[in-house]
Amino acid sequence: MFKGMGGLGDMAKMMKTAQEMQGKMAQLQEDLKSIMVTGESGAGLVKATATAKGELTGLDIDPSIFNVDEKEVVEDLILAAIKDAQAKAEARSKEEMGRMAESLGLPRDMNLPF
């Protein structure tokens, strides 16, 4: 298509690739909003659900842990479940970004700008 134009053909190809990558990154950002992960603590007594972007969307607490004398334990379990969900969200996000990078011919462990 750009034969005989020297480096301009390569530049056009790079621009097209960059546009494709930008589109895929935008789609991935949207996809991460719908991928759900669940963090747990206390052997599943407290569960926190979050999107792969790290937004907390739900909290499930087994009623058996509600004891006034153990308020601090319950608070710790809730915090632990939320932190677990956030860690899983980050890991899932990195996994999805790695797949996208790989599909673009980039190294899987490349840090993409989002």
Task: Using only the alpha carbons of the chain, give its radius of gyration.
Answer: 21
Of 49-58, 82-91, 99-108, give the lowest mean pLDDT range.
99-108
pLDDT band at residue 110 using 50, 70 and 90 as cut-offs = low
pTM: 0.68
- Mean pLDDT confidence for 28-56: 92
- For 39-82, give the DSSP string: EEETTTTEEEEEETT--EEEEEE-GGG--GGGHHHHHHHHHHHH
Which helix H or strand E contains 89, and what residues bound it? helix 71-103
Q: Give 42's Cβ-side CA count (13 Å radius).
A: 21
Whether 60 contacts 47, CB under 8 Å: yes
Residue 79, pLDDT score = 93
Residue 13, pLDDT score = 84
Residue 21, pLDDT score = 84
Residue 42, pLDDT score = 92
Q: Is the pLDDT of residue 47 over 80?
A: yes
For 2-25, write each residue's pLDDT tens digit.
555 556 678 888 888 888 888 888
Whether 20 contacts 99, CB under 8 Å: no
